[in-house]
Structure formats: C-alpha cells, structure tokens
Amino acid sequence: MTRYIERPSPNFDARTRPIDLVVLHYTGMQDAETALARLTDPAPVARRYPGPWQSDDALPDAPLPKVSAHYVVDESGQIFSLVPEEHRAWHAGASSWEGEGDVNARAIGIEIVNGGHDFGLPEFPDTQIEAVIQLLRDIFERWPDLKPARVVAHSDIAPDRKSDPGEKFPWKRLADAGVSIWPNPAHTVLAIDDDPIPHVQQQLSIIGYNVRQTGVMDGETRAALIAFQRRFRPSDTSGAADQETRRLLAALSRQLSV
C-alpha cells in the first residue's frame, strides 16, 4: 500500500461537480520544502517566497494568492497528501478543458517537485516518476471512472500562461505504464490540403484544448500547439503545424474519437 505523508493545507473548498481529470504540475520553486510551505500557507506574502516570478518592486507584505494541490511528489519519491481528493484544491487557476472552465472543480491536482523553467528545468529522477505512476494507479483505483486519457498537463489546460510540467517530463513512460496516453501515428495519412489549420484546430479541440475554429493560425492555436508539442513532441516546441506534429495530432485525435 502506498504511504502518504500528511501535510494538510487549509486552502480548499467544496467541489461542485464530480472528479473527471487529473492535472500534473511542476512546483517551479527552489526545493520541496519551499513548495510545501507555499501550498499550505493560509496567508502567503511576497517576502516568504522570493524568486524570479516576482517583480523587483514587489512589496514584502504584498499578499499572494492562496494555492494548494491534493498531492506533492518530491524528488526522492515521497508523496505528501495536502487536500483530501473529495475537496476542491486550488491548483489549476484560470483554465479550460473540453470547453469547460473551473478545472479545479473536477480535477485532482498533483504537484511534482522540480525547479521548472525558472531554475533550468532539471531532469525528473526515476524514483520520482515511479512514485507519480504509483500515485496515479492509486487514484484510478479509488475513482474507477478515471482513465489514462483523463490525465493532463497544466500546460494543456492553460496553454497561454503555463508550461508545466514541461518538455522534460516523461509522458511516454507514463503511457507505457498505463496511466496516460500517447499517439500512435502508424498508418496515419494526412489529408492533402493547401491550408491544414482548420484540420489542426478541429483535432486540438477533439483532444480537449480550448481552441476556436477560426481557420487561421492565431495566438490561441499556436499556444495550444506548443502545449501539445511539449507533451507529445518535446524535441520541437516551436508551435509550428509541421508534418510530424500534424501526424501526431491526427493519430491522437483519432484514438480519442474511437
């Protein structure tokens, strides 16, 4: 049985709908203790959490948003339980998936200790990833309606403002373990079309991204493409709708439509 270390956070409220998503984040802070302190702080102020995310003229006593998650997984594989799954933790912020906002109301949030892009995006240790996989298996067992396709990145649900857990996170390893998804582009044939953007936008929407069908490569579409690439094609996160990205998009959207 997986052992969870209790580190209760007061930052939660009541759910308003059933759980149907799991959102993976990185903490993006200096270390695990700083992240745990921030996620359990009932009255956070700027001076307690200095870092590159704050402007130089931030007042020391400036209040910060209260945040939390259901779980934190540190580099050694320890799993901290902060908020009971039955409650609504505050981890997703302004976000949307499958056309619905208030992702916090429907999601379990897992924070994975990693400095993130502000601290050089370190590699995720094997022990940490194994712990994330086991935690997801536990969650699936507790909530049988949750499936691998319901595990998403913070950058998936908020592509215009978030990039975590980042392009170094091993999503393929999670998929191989049966707790996430991965596109299989074998036998995928792209439509011959002078303008692929309408197809791209349709496929992004099928997957769950909040993309309007404008028919043009707008900022919203490019942000969603970058989020898709961070997760499924991390070698190129330019946001370009090139042939390989389109093959992966077509394959995954087809898999999820079956």
Rg, the chain, Cα only: 18
Q: Facing residues of 251 across strands?
A: none
CA atoms within 13 A on the CB side of 41: 19
Q: Which long-range contacts (CB under 8 A, 24 or more apart) does 99-104 make?
A: 99/210, 102/16, 103/21, 103/23, 103/157
How many angstroms separate the CA atoms of 181 and 187, rounded?
A: 18
Q: How far is CA 17 from the centre of its chain?
A: 20
Element (H, E) at 87: strand 87-89
Q: Is 111 a catalytic residue?
A: yes
Cis check for the bond before 10: say yes or no (omega within 30 of 0).
no
DSSP code, position 73 = E
Which of 208, 199, 178 has the alpha carbon at shortest distance from 247? 199
How many angstroms separate the CA atoms of 9 and 40, rounded?
A: 4
How many angstroms separate the CA atoms of 21 and 146, rounded?
A: 7
Q: Considering 33, 75, 111, 141, which one is annotated as catalytic?
A: 111
Active centre residues (catalytic) = 111
